Structure 1
Amino acid sequence: MTTPVTDPAAGPDRDTPPPLLLAVDAPSLLHRAHHARVASDLRDRGGRPAWALHGMLRQVLDAVERFAPDRVVLGFDDRRASERADRFGAYKAGRAEKHPELVEQIDRAAAMLDAMGLHTVTPAGLEADDVTASAATWARREGWECVVVTSDRDAFAHISESTKVLRLINGGIHASPLLDPAKLFTMYGVPAGHYLDYAALRGDASDNLPGVSGIGEKAAALLLEAAGSMQAVWADVEHAGGATLVAALDSLAVERNGRRVGAGVLRRLVADGAREQFEFNRSMMAGRDDLDLGLTPDVRRSTGALPLAEDAVARVAGHLGVTTTTDLAVRVLCGTTPASRGA
């Protein structure tokens, strides 16, 4: 059993793990909870729709209980302005229009969490993805560990030795996979440091970003394995006409008893607009990682720190009208010993 970290200011100890920052993509939790719980028609004590809010809160509580963080930050999208939509008018254009009752709950979510004493960040013109990206960078810089909770694959680009991503799937927090660099490589055949290149080649239909024509997931992974990085790919294209790349791709194919694909992949990479599409996708998918999250690592009772005040947690959670959730909130947010680290 490890001793729980109670004061990040006390300095590193070889017998204790680094302090942990939990970074939550709150809109992804709200959307998933809405679709999973809409049939319940849960209302809060004021009669307003609350099924998405309740589902989101339960998943936040489950995540806190599972990971026992020292700080929690929850990211939200700016719903009034979008730098990405300003750059690309069709950004996320393929998504279905949000249900009005979901929108109403999204608009109330940050205020509810703040009232409990949790820490939310809604960056101007940006998204929750930018908050989680900045959280991963903050944790690495400060010598912390970070767990990002999201259903968005873009967050995989931030996986590192200090940051893991809990990819939400059906079954909730406890049934979702926790991805580290090794698991990410097993899934995609791509090192974490090159996942953004891989995603930019593949594209993202959910954001309405087409990939490089003719380069699917398998070709993208093979390309990065052969060349090491897209920087190396473009350098070889510019200075050697792609000859080294073709040879490396064909060599891999021969080793695996497959057909030679080097010439075909090169043709797709040098086609009109291919590099521009890759670079555009990369810039759109890369989360801003330099946001000021308002976190102070060396002050124990500061923004985002647990435990929270019991009266505020009980009052706000209680307004949702689900006694078991109120009890869970008080236990995991107000206890002095985080459940997972104390077990």
Structure 2
Amino acid sequence: MTSKLFLLDGMALVYRAHFALVSRPIFTSKGVNTSALFVFTNTLLDILSNQQPTHIAVAFDTEAPTERHREFPEYKIQREAMPEDIVWALPHVRRLLEAFNIPALICDGYEADDIIGTLVRRAEKQGFESYMVTPDKDFGQLVSERNFIYKPGRMGDAAEILGLPEVRAKWGVERPEQVIDIIGLWGDVSDNIPGVPGIGEKTAGKLINQYGSVEKLLARTAELKGKLRQNLEEHRDRALLSKRLATINCEVPIDVDSEKLKLHPPDEAKLKQLLVEFEFNSIGRRLFGDDFKAGRGLETPPTATASRVPTTEASSEEAGPAAESPAVGEKKANLKTLADVAHDYQVVSTAKARADLVQALAGKSSFALALRTDGADSRQARLIGLAFACEARAGWFVPMPRVADQVTAILNEFRSVFEEERIEKIGYDLKFVLGALKWAGVSVRGRMFDVMLAHALIEPDLRHSIEFLSEAFLGYSPAAAGTTQGGQGELSLSDSQASGEAEHAVEAVDLVWQLRSVLEPLLKEKSQERVFYEIEAPLVPVLVDVEFDGVRVDARVLAEFAELLAKEMAGHERAIYRLAGAEFNLNSPKQLGEILFEKLKLADSPKKTRTGQYATDEQTLILLAGEHEIVRHLLEYRECSKLKSTYVDALPAAIFTKTGRVHTTFHQLATATGRLNSQNPNLQNIPIRTKLGREIRKAFVPREEGYLFLSADYSQIELRIIAALSRETTMIEALKSGVDIHVATAAGVF
């Protein structure tokens, strides 16, 4: 009999389990959300009963940084803070595994992927049949005749098992290990692996099929043309870095043998105790028979909100052990669609009908507004239509002509209601809506209610798309959600004049109208009313104005600085070659490592990356700065190179030709702390620490004569808040007197 090893990616499965029931969570009678624990346990039981493994383990990540983080500090940096319910669930998942007598494996400095990869390769040599239980696509690189990916089923469906034929078909590769080559070019948004700009999954697959690997492709870029060749040659190091980041390390020094992985019977007493603690009646009956009783938890806590549809634990289980939430786009059979509800959606296409609509809107205290555009850039998006609603299941769509002057004329017809401050404007991502209208020449005034921002304050850990909000709060699956564009989901629909698309546009604004009445009381319940109405909502039109005004950038200053940087880089390059005694590719970590550590021998025991190359990252070089003059030149060369590529060459391309200014986009929801996030371009990280970096700031100039820049910085804001809340006299005095607060705090402590 063949031994069957099942290795579970613990963190990935717990996250998946959490979001599986996010719209209908399971709570104990004490109000504890046990959804992640419940779904994870059911998934585990399905594997044990249906697959009958002989060996099993669950691998987890640790908080310790890995070689990937050291080589690329931005690795996974974009991920939001872990939801509190998952933070609570993780230690209890381990308690359950202990009761099941299933080992939980960790190894500081390595990810769960690496642990699984290491054990799979060891097991393969011993003749095992191994199954990697994970939703992660990266594991395709480990599939072989004996190694498989096991993806737990969704919504009660059977699990999916991927072997060699499935991986080859999915990725279009000859060999599974080429998966990492595709990711090297394509990147991986979920892990913040950058890839090469302009290369998507299909192009990556085509190139790897033709050339075999990233390395072979980069050696033959002369055979390519145009932008593709340019991107590959400019970002060759990025492609190689991305491949390294995606490569699963199969040499983890973890002391685990096959005997430790053997499946043993559970500790029934301990397991029953936990099932009673978590009030898992259905799981208990599944394991121990109908006589098992664990008490009764509530599917919603005592302060249940409209977002939660009351269900029972048993009904949740019937939906499948890993029933997916609306957050991952699964359409549930019990959700209504437009075909199930009576609605009155009208297309308003004549001047008389528009005048009647304006009169109707003018008599309302509020209305919902959405735009239909051909893109997600508010500066340049062509307006295709307006959508309005001021009652549920009803609304209007106003199509726009293609001629710009005619669009302006129609917008002017609605100007009075847009600018009426008495009327509240309700929308989804109102900053996009207001911005697009402002670029079209119309300002929107009055109180704002943005359902996206409201939900971000109510449930900051969840997703905020129209689709998710509609399914979770209204029990409705929108057709319009499929056409939502943009990083935060602007209601921008595709350029089609079909009546069905107009219907979807009105459906979207209708849902926005309905969501407002659901979300407003939740703001009060969560004590977020003041934050919403006094901070977040009023900030929207302010950000629209700031983005619209932009900032003037003097391209001539940047061009002159680019020449200076090029000269500086050339000087450092000559010095490096002289000190090295040879010419080599400065951007090749492999060649640089050989020069520094084999030829110049700058370290007795040089650090290496997980791929076996010498580490040549900035932190490593800083530690070696006193060892040899070449290191100083390398660091300064890299600074010049980064300034040139990231800022000096990129900023001129961001100048909007119509205004001669740079118009960044500010996001209110991009950070867990609520701090504004600037993108396209990022104006929050213009260098200031070094002399060369400060030169870039000279390119930012006031818009015209008579204007100047005002710099306002609320110094040490966090410490001021701490001092005020704690009423700590030493800190308060230090802040008032202007002395160095850090010195004063340290003196007080020691």
- TM-score normalized by structure 2? 0.36
Is structure 2 residue 248 aligned with structure 1 residue 287? Answer: yes
CA distance in 1 between partners of 2:91 and 2:118 (Å):
23
Is the 1:294–1:303 Cα contact (8 Å) retained in structure 2? no
CA distance in 2 between partners of 1:128 and 1:66 (Å):
24
CA distance in 2 between partners of 1:327 and 1:178 (Å):
28
SS in 2 for 1:209: coil
SS in 2 for 1:166: strand
Which residue is equivalent to 1:335? none
Is structure 2 residue 93 aligned with structure 1 residue 74? Answer: no
Cα distance change, pair 292–277 in 1 and its aligned pair in 2 (3 A)? same
CA distance in 2 between partners of 1:39 and 1:270 (Å):
43
CA shift digits 1:11-50 (9 cap, x unpaired): xxxxx3x201101011111111112224554345876432
Q: For 1:184, which of 167, 178, 182 is the aligned residue? A: 167
Is structure 2 residue 38 aligned with structure 1 residue 54? Answer: yes
CA shift digits 1:214-263 (9 cap, x unpaired): 222112111121122334334xx2xxx556xx4xxxxxxxxxxxxxxx43
Q: For 1:276, which of 237, 242, 257 is the aligned residue? A: 237
Unaligned residue ranges in structure 1 (runs of 5+)? 1-15, 247-261, 332-343
Tell me which structure has the larger Cα radius of gyration.
2
Is the 1:159–1:180 Cα contact (8 Å) retained in structure 2? yes
Cα distance change, pair 62–292 in 1 and its aligned pair in 2 (3 A)? farther
Is structure 2 residue 85 aligned with structure 1 residue 85? Answer: no
Is the 2:99–2:268 Cα contact (8 Å) retained in structure 1? no
Give the alignment of 1:137-156 within 5 angstroms. Answer: 137-156=121-140
- Give the deviation of 1:182 after TM superposition: 0.5
CA distance in 1 between partners of 2:151 and 2:43 (Å):
12
CA shift digits 1:279-305 (9 cap, x unpaired): 2112212222123554433x4xx4442
- TM-score normalized by structure 1? 0.75
Which residue is equivalent to 2:225? 263
Is the 2:184–2:242 Cα contact (8 Å) retained in structure 1? yes
CA shift digits 1:297-334 (9 cap, x unpaired): 3x4xx444233343343333443222321244569xxx
Is structure 2 residue 282 aligned with structure 1 residue 310? Answer: no
The CA RMSD measured in Å over matched residues stands at 2.6
- Does 28-37 or 73-82 show the bigger shift? 73-82
Which residue is equivalent to 2:206? 222
CA distance in 1 between partners of 2:275 and 2:56 (Å):
17
Is the 2:101–2:263 Cα contact (8 Å) retained in structure 1? no
Cα distance change, pair 111–82 in 1 and its aligned pair in 2 (3 A)? farther
SS in 2 for 1:277: helix
Q: For 1:65, which of 27, 49, 54 is the aligned residue? A: 49
CA distance in 2 between partners of 1:134 and 1:207 (Å):
20
Write 1 or 2 for the structure with the bigger share of helix: 1
Is structure 2 residue 191 aligned with structure 1 residue 207? Answer: yes
Number of matched residues?
288
Give the alignment of 1:25-174 within 5 angstroms. Answer: 25-43=9-27, 48-168=32-152, 170-171=154-155, 174=157
- Does 194-203 or 184-193 show the bigger shift? 184-193
CA distance in 2 between partners of 1:80 and 1:326 (Å):
36
Cα distance change, pair 93–168 in 1 and its aligned pair in 2 (3 A)? farther
- Give the deviation of 1:210 after TM superposition: 1.7
CA shift digits 1:40-95 (9 cap, x unpaired): 54345876432211111111111222321111110111035444334333222222
Is the 2:143–2:164 Cα contact (8 Å) retained in structure 1? yes
Higher relative CO (Cα under 8 Å, sequence separation at least 6) belongs to: 1
Cα distance change, pair 40–270 in 1 and its aligned pair in 2 (3 A)? closer
Is the 2:99–2:266 Cα contact (8 Å) retained in structure 1? no
CA distance in 2 between partners of 1:210 and 1:185 (Å):
24
